[in-house]
Amino acid sequence: MTSAASRPRLVVLGLDGLPLSLARALSPHLRNLSRLLPFARPIEAELPELSPVNWTSFFTGEGPGVHGVHGFTVLDPQTYALRIAGFNDVRCPTIFQRMSEAGLTSRVLNLPNMAPARPLRGMLVAGFVAESLESAVFPPFLLGPLRATNYRVEGDTTRGAADPEYLLDQLRQSLAARRSALNLLWPDLAWDLFVCVLTETDRLFHFLFPAVENPAHALHGACLAFLREWDALVGEVLDRYEALPEPKRLIAFADHGFCALDTEVDLNRVLTLAGYLHLCRPARDEWDAGVIGPETRAFALDPGRIVLHREGSFKLGRVRESEIPGLVAELRALLLGLTWEGRKVMKQVLDGRELYQCENAPDLICVPERGLDLKARFDRQEVFGHFGRFGMHTPDDVFFADTGAEAQGDTVVMRLRDTGQLVLRHFGLGDTNQHRRGGLIL
């Protein structure tokens, strides 16, 4: 029987939104992050390069075509109500379920898209976008200790662009919450897998990426001061890991990269101006998909998902099967021809069903050039513009480090879904093919 001292352990450290190139550039200032760089290399995010898509790809070991999360939002085809995606939308088993079945224990802290929390062998404090702390926690007895430390699932970033000082203060409070939860979940070492995700970098980069990247920026010093605090918490995780008895392994990775944003590009406005999206009334807000009228042939969902308004799939849909090949060709030509200030907007426009190998996928997936951030609002009057954010996700330059890859002979990690498969292989649980059967994919 394996003793508590000698049980093999795997630690996963999530560094939300961290590009490898930025990690290298900031390493002289961030001594703890620099401890990971000898093991680091870039991997690719799943498309679209959003947090719920990619963190779900990690915790299932599958791509969006299997796990079913294709973006931040889900559209009801009958009511046209738009809602935030969550764990109830995940259509295949998680790595934590696989571990539970094998008698292995997981502790999971601040992992996005895991709410509403469900039972697992271990403990869970889910991350963004949990509606409440109650919905984020399993088992429920954790609520008391977490509330005692004023734990928060997410800081308030609504004033991020207009009030950088407020944003940084909120992120510091968020960091303090992660530290208090780490102190609660780690110490007894009664776990095999520990997952800790720090999402504060993503929030910082969305609003202040130019300040982080450019030493001449007026807010660079303030951002660097915050990142040193973030780096101190990274160091606490690394110190705890180093103090573990052997055998052990640590992997650290981001869910996507980041770069400076030059302009947002609203695809629903593009489709409206081109006559593909017809709004039946003025939108109440950016989420008001109820404006999609029966004459609509195509619309967009965040960030670059193009959906055909198919007859039989949507209550008001009129696009017949025979029209689809021609319509897809028209839309691809429109999108590939889109320019901003002489620059091409699109790097690629991919067939969603080919990409994901499933029938309920978006029809087209748009991949923009760097600096051009795709949106899918329903109330915008302009195609291009700035709306408070100055950093954007990228599918490339994604940070990944593995302290045990060479020793384990496990170097095949190319994109986010592979990180989940790595965890399963580490514990001898193989791939997930047997768990895909029984209608879980289709």
Residues 6+ apart with CB under 8 A from 223: 168, 204, 208, 211, 212
For residue 353, count other CB atoms closer than 10 A to its CB: 17
CATH of the domain at 213: 3.40.720.10
Gap between the Cα atoms of 311 and 368, Å rounded: 29
> Considering only CA atoms, which of 356, 436, 431, 417 is closest in space to residue 58?
417
Three-class secondary structure of residue 28 per DSSP: coil
Residue 78 is assigned to a structural domain of this protein? yes
3 state DSSP class of 428: coil
| 340 and 405 assigned to the same domain | no
Q: Are residues 373 and 224 in the same domain?
A: no
Q: How far apart are CA 190 and CA 5, in angstroms?
A: 10
Of 351, 367, 385, which residue is a domain's last?
Answer: 385
How far apart are alpha carbons 412 and 232 in whole angstroms?
30
Q: Would you state the pLDDT for residue 7?
A: 87
Residue 162 sits in the same domain as residue 16: yes
What pairs with residue 421 in β-bridges? none
The tokens describing 45, both together, are 């995010």
Same domain for 253 and 267, yes or no, is no
321 is a domain residue? yes
Please check whether residues 124 and 204 belong to one and the same domain.
yes
To the nearest 10°, report the CA torsion of 400, 48, 266, 369: 50
- Are 359 and 353 spatial neighbours (Cβ–Cβ below 8 Å)? yes
Tell me whether residue 239 is exposed, middle or buried, using C-beta atoms within 10 angstroms of its C-beta: 0 to 12, 13 to 18, 19 or more: exposed
CB 159 within 8 A of CB 217: no
Q: Are residues 71 and 210 in the same domain?
A: yes
pLDDT at 1: 38
Report yes or no on 68 lying in a domain: yes
| 374 and 403 in a common domain | no
In a domain, 441, yes or no: no
Q: Is residue 215 part of a domain?
A: yes
Q: How many CB atoms lie within 10 A of CB 411?
A: 11
Residue among 194, 182, 190, 181 at smallest CA distance from 106: 194
Q: Which of 363, 385, 407 is the last residue of a domain?
A: 385
Number of structural domains found in the chain: 2
Q: Which two tokens stand for residue 427?
A: 């514990």
Across 102-245, the runs of DSSP E, i.e. the strands, are 106-111, 122-126, 137-138, 193-198
- The beta strand positions in 159-238, using DSSP E, are 193-198
Range of the domain at 209: 9-259+392-436
> Edge-to-edge strand order for the sheet containing 384-385?
372-375, 263-266, 384-385
Q: Do 321 and 403 belong together in one domain?
A: no
Which residues, given as ranges, of the chain have pLDDT below 70? 1-5, 405-411, 431-442
DSSP labels, 68-119: ---SSEEE-TTT--EEE--GGG--S--HHHHHHHTT--EEEEEETT--S---
- Asked whether residue 416 falls in the same domain as residue 379, the answer is no
247 and 275 fall within a common domain: no
Question: Is there a single domain that holds both residue 220 and residue 274?
Answer: no
Is position 221 within any domain? Answer: yes
Task: Give dist(CA 432, CA 98) in Å, integer.
Answer: 9
Is 66 inside any structural domain? yes
Residues 416, 422, 426: CA angle, nearest 5 degrees: 160
Torsion of CA 363, 203, 228, 394, to 10 degrees: 20
Residue type, 324: I
The 10 Å Cβ neighbour count of residue 224 is: 16
Please check whether residues 268 and 255 belong to one and the same domain: no
Q: Return d(Cα 430, Cα 78) in angstroms, integer.
A: 40
Closest CA to 282 of 274, 271, 272: 272
pLDDT in tens, 209-252: 999 999 999 999 999 999 999 999 999 999 999 999 999 999 99
Torsion angle of alpha carbons 313, 319, 325, 327, nearest 10°?
A: -120
For residue 275, count other CB atoms closer than 10 A to its CB: 10
Residue 4 lies in a domain: no
